[in-house]
Structure 1
Amino acid sequence: MVRKFVASVCSLNQWSLEFEGNKNRILQSIQYAVQEGAKYRSGPELEICGYTCEDHFLEPDTSLHSWEVLVAIMMAPICRDIVVDVGMPVIYKSRTYNCRVIFYNKKICLIRPKMCLCNSGNYRESRWFTPWSKERTTEQFYLPQFVAQATGQISVPIGDAVLMAKDVTIGYEICEELWNPQSAHIPMALDGVEVIVNGSGSYMELRKANYTIDLVRSATFKAGGCYLYSNLRGGDGGRVYFNGCSCVSFNGDVVARTQQFSLIDVEVATATVDLDLVSSYRTRLSTAATGASASSYPRIILDARLTHNQTAKLSSPISWQYHTPEEEIAYGPACWLWDYLRRSNQGGFFLPLSGGVDSCSSATIVHSMCRLVVQSCPSSEEVLSSVRTMVSDPNYYPHDARELCGRLFFTCYMATENSSAETKSRAKLLAQQIGSTHTEVNVSGAVTALLNIFALVTGMKPKFSTHGGTPRECLALQNVQARVRMVIAYLFSQLVLWARNRQGGLLVLGSANVDESLRGYLTKYDCSSADVNPIGGISKIDLRSFLAFAKDKFDLPALGEIMSAVPTAELMPLNDGCLVQTDEADMGLTYAELSTMGRCRMYERAGPYSMFQSLLPVWKEETPQSVAEKVKHFFRCYALNRHKMTVLTPSVHLESYSPDDNRFDHRPFLYSISWRWQFAAIQKHLQMLSTIENVNCISIKDTSAPIPPVKPRKNVNTDGKGGVVV
Structure 2
Amino acid sequence: MDYIKISSVSPKLKVSDVHYNKKEILTSIRQLSENSVKVALFPELSLTSYTAADLFFSADLLEEAEKALEEIIAFTRNLDMVVILGLPVRHEGRLYNSAAVLFEGEILGIVPKQNLPNYNEFYESRWFTAYHRTHGQQIDLGAHKRVPFGNLVFSAGEYSFGVEICEDLFATVSPSSSLSLQGAEIIFNLSASNELAGKSVYRRDLVKITSAKNIGAYVYSSAGPNESTTDLVFSGHLLISEYGTVLAENERFSIETDQITAFIDIARIRGERLRNTTFRNEAVNPQYLAEKVSFRHASYEVVGFDRKIDPHPFVPNNPEERKTRAREILAIQSHGLAKRLNHLHMKKTVIGISGGLDSTLALLVITKTYQILGIPHENIITVTMPGFGTTDRTYQNALELCRELGTDLREISIVEASLLHFSDIGHDKAVHDATYENVQARERTQILMDIANKEGAIVIGTGDLSELALGWCTYNGDQMSMYGVNASIPKSLVRYLVRYFYEEEFSGNISRVLKDVLETPVSPELLPKGTEDELLQMTEDIVGPYELHDFFLYHYMKYGAGYRKILFMAETAFRGVYDPETIRKWLKVFVKRFYSQQFKRSAMPDGPKVGSISLSPRGDLRMPSDASYDTFMDTLE
- Return the TM-score normalized by structure 1: 0.42
- Return the TM-score normalized by structure 2: 0.48
